[in-house]
Structure 1
Amino acid sequence: MIDTQDEFNQALCMFLSRATTPYHAVGLTVSRLQQAGFIQLAQDKPWALEPGGGYFLVHNHGSIVAFRYGREVGPERGVRMVGAHTDSPCLMVKPSPEIESEGLFQLGVQVYGGALLNPWFDRDLSLAGRVSYLCPRGTLRAALVDFRDAIATIPSLAIHLDSDANRKREVNAQTAIVPVLCQTASEGMSLRDMLAMQIRKEHSGAEIEQILDFELSFYDTQLPAVIGLRKQFIASARLDNLLSCFTGVEALLQSDGSQTTLLVCNDHEEVGSVSASGASGPLLASCLQRLAGGTEAHAALVEHSFMVSTDNAHAVHPNFANRHDGNHGPRMNEGPVIKVNASQRYATNSETSGLFRMLAARESVPVQSFVVRNDMRCGSTIGPLTAAMTGVKTLDVGVPTLGMHSVRELAGAEDAWGLCRILRGFYNYAGPLSAA
């Protein structure tokens, strides 16, 4: 069990270093849950739940629901839920990606989500994802792969050839961010051949007749680290939003099992959540229906449940402080952030934020607020979508972060641990989840 901030951050960095795609994040989470005695459920089979037991189910390899079935069960007790998402902006490989240009072998990519593109240049990149293949017996299989080594890079154009680079360089997403893997050989290169070799390397005994298709993304190989003169920051890729996924899992594992507690981590948030495994899909709603056991019981369960949607927040940038509202500029290491938006881009209301503030005070963790400037566009989270799909009272919170959607982001070393303590208290909270 993780008892200190240093232990928490060390475990978080280890998770971030291995969770290079949503599929790998879910795989690592499954291993952690199974070590803690959680049992995997199937959506197409009956559930036999024991009070105090831990359970989970996986959808499309990239989304997961995990829950403890509380010893104090009943629709009137509700479900204490935490939500996050497993995906991050990245560069995904196109279906027919092979390019040979000027003696170099490259792979064409698509931009997934709202990625900041400039930081991808001159990085040591690797490749990971899911591959579908055909066995000699005609069976369809899927395998996760992660090359781990730095196998690619996207070189910048030298300033000598672009004298305006520091003033107005624009990144053309079609032509400028094509990764280079190696120099071309006379026999040519095939990504499918590379993938077949990697599957055999990572999965001993795999029999491959044909590589059928793949979902692959490049990632920066630089490892996560606690940095800064006083070690006050965590620097890593995919902090948005694997930091929240890890925090939710640890809080769930530290819950005492008295209440029914649930964690949902959806894929595809960065591209709108409209998918079978996204927050607009049926995954969470169907779980709540099965936990309730009937129509009237489901209505009561929804009425007495509560969701904390956790997704990183924008910390105020010291070089661009005017991009924040003057009274709502969250700072790193000053506590989790409650996100508020009058147009319902966040699901927070005064009742849901009130409960979170009460729980934070019990843990002696400070809390901040974020409201976007009126003259700027507001982002969103799985919070409003989850609230609309389930009818559950919902709050949007997150850890303040700099460089969001960059290839490497920055968060405070104190904030994720503080959020974990609040979520643990929320999971164990036996009182009513709405104001009297």
Structure 2
Amino acid sequence: MSAPSRFDRGHTDDLMTFLSASPTPYHAVASAAERLEKAGFRQVSETDAWEGTSGGKYVLRGGAIVAWYVPEGAAAHTAFRIVGAHTDSPNLRVKPRPDTGAHGWRQVAVEIYGGPLMNSWLDRDLGLAGRLSLRDGSTRLVNVDRPLLRVPQLAIHMDRNVTADGLKLDKQRHLQPVWGLDDTVRDGDLIAFLEDEAGLARGEVTGWDLMTHSVEPPAYLGRDRELVAGPRMDNLLSVHAGTAALAAVATSGADLPYIPVLAAFDHEETGSQSDTGADGPLLGGVLERSVFARGGSYEDRARAFAGTVCLSSDTGHAVHPNYAERHDPTHHPRVNGGPILKVNVNNRYATDGSGRAVFAAACEKAGIPFQTFVSNNSMPCGTTIGPITAARHGISTVDIGVAILSMHSARELCGTEDPHLLANALVAFLQP
């Protein structure tokens, strides 16, 4: 039996391709599914009866994907090893009535999604992508990946105090992008434009989930190219690593004592409360149906869940050279220092001592270093899908990730080595 090949810097090259192909959660799960298909996985429908056969399977629901690999001869009570992540990122999303404008400018009405660093969206060339719902009940992905929109900043001559007082943005008035010139606002213009882009007839689109994205591609940065700048690393970096790790384990031919799983959810940035979010029933339903499809009972389900461990993988904060005082003085995660273990005793992260031991064992097996992140006591701590997963499903969960800078910016920054170090740790976790 052979082990999966060890990921190297080529994994980071592939991450950059994945980021470019995934401007929205819908595109991200489609990209992940395509990669899993190449590893032998097949899609199953939630409306069909499931067979208990071995092999790789996945479910797509909106901007979420759950994929799992059943080893040959796996018992109904076989526990799961889960890599959890999320597909959504803070951005500007199109409103139900998108066509607006003033003073000869054509604009698109947008709503703020999540908690973006709003200044990072100013004076940036933006594309538009998402999901179109059609009259016949089907959906179509669309991606205008070229400069289409721009949120212009007010010139300093009209805001003389901006340097001294800082930039102050009103979410309603100051973040509506322009996309042309016209004295007349016509309802339906934007959707008609997207119908043309998608090769659809006029009037076919009856619903939409659309969002802006930076069209600047990911790039290596620095004297020695030791950094990567790119969009949506929070948290497509983890989605990509989890997909690669699951595919590698499934094709390794190794004996697997657990059923490896990838669960990438939507709507983490807004609380996870949706049918595709971590606080919804998607993961639990898939795991239960997997047990029952193999002839299991409720007792088998309980046994499987009791032995299950989830690594909730999300980006974290690298120590910032200009704001080091904002970090805990004894915990300074560095880029290219290996994945981070996130700890918060108030359960904003789900990690405890036993979870640390599981992650430490995976990193030791993979031969990689890891670091620990804990917030400065004077700073409120963020959270992840980790505590939600632990509480909703009663499974042991550990919060981990990769340390980055500029989190929630339209363009974030990580180390070149960390993505493949994370992927190697995930392989070792899924295939202990």
Query: Above 0.5 in TM-score?
Result: yes
Q: Which residues of structure 1 form unaligned runs of 5+?
A: 201-205, 430-436
Q: Distance in 1 between matches of 2:105 and 2:345?
A: 51
Q: What is the alpha-carbon distance in structure 2 between the residues aligned to residue 45 and residue 265 of structure 1? A: 22
Q: Which residue of 2 aligns with 1:111?
A: 112
The equivalent residue for 1:397 is 400
Residue 143 in structure 1 maps to residue 140 in structure 2: yes
Deviation of 1:72 after TM superposition, in Å, equals: 5.3
Mean Cα displacement is larger for which, 410-419 or 210-219? 210-219
Letter in 2 for 1:122: D
**Residue in structure 2 matched with residue 163 of structure 1 by the alignment:** 160
Map 1:111-260 → 2, pairs under 5 A? 111-134=112-135, 139-168=136-165, 169-184=167-182, 188=186, 190-200=189-199, 206-255=200-249, 256=252, 258-259=255-256, 260=259
2:192 partner amino acid: D
1:391-421 deviation line (CA, Å, top 9, x unaligned)? 1111000100100000000011111101111
Contact 1:360 1:367 in 2 (8 A): yes
Which segment is superposed worse, 64-73 or 148-157? 64-73
* 8 Å CA contact retained: 1:2, 1:8: no
Deviation of 1:6 (Å): 2.4
> What corresponds to 2:410 in structure 1?
407
Secondary structure of the corresponding residue to residue 290 of structure 1? helix
Q: Are the equivalent residues in 1 in contact too, given 2:342–2:349 (CA < 8 A)?
A: yes
Structure 1 length-normalised TM: 0.93
Alpha-carbon separation, structure 1, partners of 2:128 and 2:378: 39
Q: Which amino acid aligns with 1:170?
A: K
- Structure-1 residue corresponding to 2:61: 59
Give TM-score, length-normalised by structure 2.
Answer: 0.94
TM-aligned CA deviation for residue 75 of structure 1: 5.0
Cα separation, 1, equivalents of 2:171 and 2:201: 37
Aligned residues: 418
> Structure 1 stretch 70-79 or stretch 311-320: which is displaced more?
70-79
What stretches of structure 2 of length at least 5 have no aligned partner? none
**CA distance in structure 2 between the aligned counterparts of 1:73 and 1:346, rounded to whole angstroms:** 31
Q: Distance in 2 between matches of 1:186 and 1:119?
A: 30
Q: Structure 1 residues 72, 424: closer, same or farther in 2, change over 3 A?
A: farther
Whether contact under 8 Å (2:273, 2:280) holds in the other structure is yes
Question: In structure 1, what is the equivalent of residue 430 of structure 2?
Answer: 427
Letter of the aligned partner of 1:178 in structure 2?
A: Q
Instruction: State the superposition RMSD in angstroms.
Output: 1.5
CA offset digits 1:309-354 (Å, max 9, x no partner): 0000111100000010011121101111100011101110100111
Q: How many Å separate the matches in 2 of 1:66 and 1:226?
A: 31
CA distance, structure 1, for counterparts of residue 288 and residue 274 of structure 2:
20
8 Å Cα contact 2:106/2:185 also seen in 1: no
Q: Indicate which of 303, 324, 328 corresponds to 1:325.
A: 328
Q: Corresponding residue for 2:275?
A: 276
Partner amino acid for 1:221? V
Q: Identity of paired residues, percent?
A: 38
CA contact (8 A) 1:133 1:208 kept: no
Cα deviation 1:122-173 (Å, max 9, x = unaligned) = 1011100111122xxxx22321111111111111111111011112221111
Please state how far the C-alpha of 1:77 moved relative to its aligned partner. 3.7
Specify whether residues 4 and 352 from structure 1 end up closer, same or farther in structure 2 by C-alpha distance, changes over 3 A only: closer
The residue that corresponds to 1:434 in the other structure is none
Amino acid at match of 1:253: A
Deviations 1:353-387, CA, capped at 9 Å, x for gaps: 11111220122211111111111111110111011
Mapping of 1:2-17 within 5 angstroms? Answer: 4-17=7-20
Q: Give the aligned partner of residue 70 of structure 1.
A: 71
Q: Which residue of 2 aligns with 1:47?
A: 50
Structure 1 outlier segments of 4+, above 6 Å? none
Residue 2 of structure 1, CA deviation: 7.0
8 Å Cα contact 1:131-1:211 kept in structure 2: yes
Query: Any conservation in 2 of the 1:75–1:300 contact (CA below 8 Å)?
Result: no
Determine helix, strand or coil for the equivalent of 2:147.
coil
- Corresponding residue of 2:102: 101
CA offset digits 1:178-225 (Å, max 9, x no partner): 10101116685711211211221xxxxx45544212111111100011
Query: Which amino acid letter does the alignment assign opposite residue 315 of structure 1?
Result: A
| Whole-angstrom CA distance in 2 between matches of 1:415 and 1:57 | 28
Counterpart-to-counterpart distance in 2, 1:59 and 1:99: 32
Structure 1 residues 184 and 343: CA distance shift in structure 2, 3 A: same
